[in-house]
Amino acid sequence: MCSRLKLVFAVSVLLQLLDFSRGNNVGVAYGRDANNLPSPDKVAQLVRNHNIQYIRIYDTDPQVLNAFKNTGIAFTVGVHNSDLPAFQSQSYVDSWLTNSILPFYQATRITHITVGNEVTESPDNAANLVVPAMRNVVSALKKSNLQDSIKVSTPLSFGVLSNSFPPSEGAFKSSLAYVLNPLLEFLDENQSPFMVNIYPYFAINDDSSLKFALFEPSNQVFVDWNTGLRYDNMFDAQLDAVHFAIANQFRKARNLLDAQLDDVRFSLAYQNLNEMKIVVIETGYPKGGSPGHRFATIDNARIYNTNLIRHVTSGSGTTAMPGGVHVMSGTPAKPNAEVDVYIFSLFDENLKQGSDIEGHWGIFYPDMTPAYDLEFPGTPSGKSWCIASSQASKSALQNALDWACGPGKADCSDIQPGGQCFEPDNLVSHASFAFNNYYQKHGLTDEACSFGGTGIKVYNDPSYGNCIYHYFSRGNNVGVAYGRDGNNLPSPDKVAQLVQNHNIQYIRIYDTDPQVLNAFKNTDIEFTVGVHNSDLPAFQSQSYVDSWLTNSILPFYQATRITHITVGNEVTESSDNAANLVVPAMRNVVSALKKSNLQDSIKVSTPLSFGVLSNSFPPSIGAFNSSLAYVLNPLLEFLDENRSPFMVNLYPYSAIKDDSSLKFALFEPSDQVFVDQNSGLRYDNMFDAQLDAVHFAIFNQLRKTRNVLDAQLDVVRFSLTDQSSISDMKTIVTETGYPKGGSTSHGFVTIDNARIYNTNLIRHVTSGSPTTSMPAGVHLMSGTPAKPNGEVNVYIFSLFDENLKQGSDLEGHWGIFYPDMTPAYNLEFPGKGTDPSGRSWCIASSQASKSALQNALDWACGPGKTDCSAIQPDGQCFVPDNLVSHASFAFNNYYQKHGLTDEACSFGGTGIKVYSDPSYGNCIYNVKSNDPNGRTCLTSNVFSQILYSLTPPSHSTIITRKMGLLMFPAVSTEMPSKLTRILAMVIASITD
């Protein structure tokens, strides 16, 4: 037993580090003890209209299960206590599953089965029967291989506790050990949740306890004298009493005599015996009853359920944190635990037995009108932040804060006196800001939010007032190369303001000019700095490089976000000895970085010219010039060894020969799409073709140097994305762009072509590329045809025209701005992530084979339970009638309903995640997103479609309110005034 517990503990710690939590959810219990309720079909529509994503029913009524088919709503179904005697028979349970679950499971998303309800309160023999019945249900599920998809539990009353105050002394009634011990062992064995009904309402006895129950602010915060944990609401206190009761019951049952009681109480979050998830399967608040129930009012019911939803989905605010900063995703004793709850109940139920308040818990009346306004959050946006736990000790928190602002290099200037986040001046608030700054800059990983156990990940924006908590996404990015070969350029300070004003988030410079680095401090703009070819001889000395790092990087690194160092530039094109010197210089830079523990934060590489390829057409036979093996082989090994990106400068402009190749270079639609005959991959633009030629060249070069003789060439060419062992090297296009002027001999050099290229490049990289096989606005991929899921980061050359640039007469005309800082043409940068709400969609890859795509589509619309009605004839998304378009809609529908995970967008490798809305015309692709207050955002595309049909497409209005930035076509002056007023009220209401 001891070895088993050690293993369980190790797994527990590992799971906590990996943080596989899917987030906190709020559902509703749909009780039907009434004779005046609407039909299940109407209820299903009501639930969807209010964005309720989780429903509990108390039986397996086929009308209800049919009504909710294809909605994607997660269902908990139940078995009545009266059925438990029959459930002692395995054959009976097998038959029940066959008739009551399996016919609906494919279309209705059943996730839990509750066997019995509050069995310890039942006057019959239910408590003795429940665990054997649950075991029979699991056995039946195993026969259909559903034991991991559908979890089995039984809801208990909070009355099973003999003690709940203080929470640390939570304990179950000893008289119920006969049912609780086998129940807990069953739940632990099957990884099922412990389900409990919690009703803080019943503990209210005065105005003080009323505030405590309603999550309302109070001057008093209860501190558990055994643990030091602070409670500002009754829900957390009761739930933690259950947590401690479970831990203590396991301790008794497993005879853990070596576990000290204070260890159990004070370190609950680290006890392997308490990793069991708890689902609050019922909670709520009555809104009416006899005068004796003076706290049962509609206003109190609204306050409780509103605050419950905010508390569970956003975390709980405390007096130690500024308004809007959410302390935890769990409870004080288990701050990182999931807390899923179901509000009781959907409707008032006029046949409910018991006291006169029993029929008045509904959030809707039987006529489906809301009892009060209640907003459900739906699915999280995918963004995350890191904050400090108020439960951490002051010493641990201070140590973590000191580390974050010191060796951790977090930007802590905003929490200094006079800074935007200095107030409130307390440790938790300051640590939260510092933790998040570090977390966002270091890959949004679990480790980056550890801080010795004092950091907590949250999923709603903790910003407040003028204190903005930064959020950075990891995806495809577009930056700008800031060359300075000009004598008429603006000062770095002005350039920094210009860059911020235009939302450019990534900058490359070719040196480490201190004026530039100082000008960009505290902007959070990512910087790639450089070393000139002429400096490479000096960089052969380690001591020289150490001194260079000390003087040129470290003084700026804390305030200016330096992420890459480029050592040399296009060294193979250099007339000096740069190519021989570059890799030793790079190794010296990495060694210097290691001495400051910065080797993971700042990556080192060298940009190469596209001319290093001896062959680039077709892309699948991309190969490097064999005469450059002396530099490329050690370079690729260095990059692989240090997990650094391969950097290349790509200029499709240089390959333009005629009007046809012009379209190919500008990402413009054409009747012709190039198909690589070796790989079958389709290319509709030159950028992808050139970049994939580089991808294949890297792969083939590594293959040669590593003597991978057993890799067949056709496998190399056709399955590049599957060769992860030697082809997962990231590629950054450190220069690309288009000239806008020069002599008349450059026939394709025009300002309009430059605008088209850079505009389409940004759209392509950040959103994917439209192709002829996809409807307008549907984005093909986040990478390239050969590496569709790979990151593609690019830098547009250049920020300004440079009048001292050497070379032909067009060299000085690549700027997107003139030296006076006026834009050469309109260009919109997406910033950190293409969608302002961090949203994502899933579409089909047009590179997938027809058979694979058809199989995936059949699965999605069949066993995958996706709603495919819109792609049937006459459906809104039927046209264009092709496989890729239909599969894209179905894939996204499934993806949105199943947690926005990578697995939910796999489809056997035929699905691709994109970050810009693929909706087109009347075909709306569903998406889930929340605003910072935890409310469900109405996505702009829906309203845009409604208004677009009523307004001229040339008009536009930007409305900025709490929901963020929404684009709406403006109301036409020709529109009837009454309709204008109605639309104005709609817009105002959704943005308030």
pTM of the model: 0.44
Across the range 30-49, mean pLDDT stands at 89
Mean pLDDT of 180-194: 92
Q: Which of 146-150, 580-584, 831-835 has the lowest mean pLDDT?
A: 831-835
Is the separation of the CB atoms in 194 and 277 below 8 Å?
Answer: yes
Q: Report the pLDDT value the prediction gives residue 461, as an integer from 0 to 100.
A: 65
pLDDT of residue 945: 35
What is the structure's pLDDT at 254? Answer: 63
With a CB cutoff of 8 Å and minimum separation 6, the contacts of 934 are 309, 310, 313, 314, 375, 377, 460
Provide the 8-state DSSP code for 392.
S
Helix axis angle for 177-190 and 126-143, nearest 10°, is 20
Structure tokens at 411: 């930007």
Beta-carbon neighbour count of residue 992 at 10 Å? Answer: 8
Task: Give the Cα separation of 100 and 936 in Å (integer).
Answer: 33
Q: For 970, phi and psi rounded to 5 degrees?
A: -75, 155
pLDDT of residue 498: 86
pLDDT attached to residue 725: 36
Classified as helix, coil or strand, 514 is helix
Over residues 279-286, the mean pLDDT reads: 95
**707-711 mean pLDDT:** 45
CB 934 within 8 A of CB 462: no
The answer to whether the beta carbons of residues 53 and 376 sit under 8 Å apart is yes
pLDDT-above-90 percentage for the chain: 37
Q: Which residues contact 951 (CB under 8 A, 6 or more apart)?
A: 969, 970, 971, 972, 975
**Contact by Cβ (8 Å): 214, 316:** no
What's the pLDDT band for 14 if we cut at 50, 70, 90?
very low
DSSP letters for 168-232: GG-EE-GGGHHHHHHHHHHHHHHTPPEEEE--GGGG--SHHHHHHHTT---S--EE-TTT--EES
Is the pLDDT at 843 greater than 70? The verdict is: yes
Residue 847's pLDDT band, with cuts at 50, 70 and 90, is low
Instruction: Enter the DSSP assignment of 529.
Output: E
Distances 971 to 669, 940, 955, 978, 985 between C-alpha atoms, Å = 32, 15, 8, 12, 12
Q: Give the model confidence (pLDDT) of 907-958 as tens digits.
A: 887 887 765 567 766 677 877 643 333 333 333 333 333 333 333 333 332 2
3-state secondary structure 26-63: EEEECCCCCCCCCCHHHHHHHHHHCCCCEEECCCCCHH
Write down the pLDDT at residue 571. Answer: 93
pLDDT in tens, 284-331: 999 987 766 789 999 999 999 999 998 888 643 332 233 333 334 578
Closest CA to 472 of 841, 929, 833: 833
H/E run at residue 385: strand 385-388
At 854 the pLDDT is: 92
**DSSP label at 146?**
-
Residue positions annotated with a catalytic role = 118, 282
Which range among 19-28, 80-89, 141-150, 929-938 shows the weakest confidence by mean pLDDT? 929-938
Average pLDDT of the segment spanning 567-589: 92
Hunting for tokens 């006026």 — which residue is that?
Answer: 822
Residue 630: per-residue pLDDT: 92
pLDDT, tens digit, 9 for 90 and up, residues 714-755: 343 334 434 433 356 789 999 999 998 876 666 789 889 999
Mean pLDDT over 469-485 rounds to 79
Which range (30-39, 619-628, 926-935) has the least confidence?
A: 926-935
Is the pLDDT at 982 greater than 50? The verdict is: no
The pLDDT assigned to 992 comes to 38
In angstroms, the CA 586 to CA 16 distance is 37
From the list 191, 104, 98, the residue with the least C-alpha distance to 144 is 98
Give the CA angle between residues 497, 501, 505 to the nearest 5°: 90
> What is residue 949's predicted lDDT score, i.e. its pLDDT?
34
Q: Are 865 and 106 in contact (CB under 8 A)?
A: yes
User: Whole-number mean pLDDT of the chain?
Assistant: 78
Q: What is the mean pLDDT of residues 532-554?
A: 95
Q: Which amino acid type is present at position 460?
A: N
Q: What is the mean pLDDT of residues 517-546?
A: 91
Bigger pLDDT: 853 or 706? 853
Encode pLDDT of 670-706 as tens digits: 766 788 888 888 888 899 999 999 999 988 888 776 5
d(CA 651, CA 273): 60
Which pair of tokens denotes residue 240? 């933690």
Q: What is the pLDDT of residue 320?
A: 29
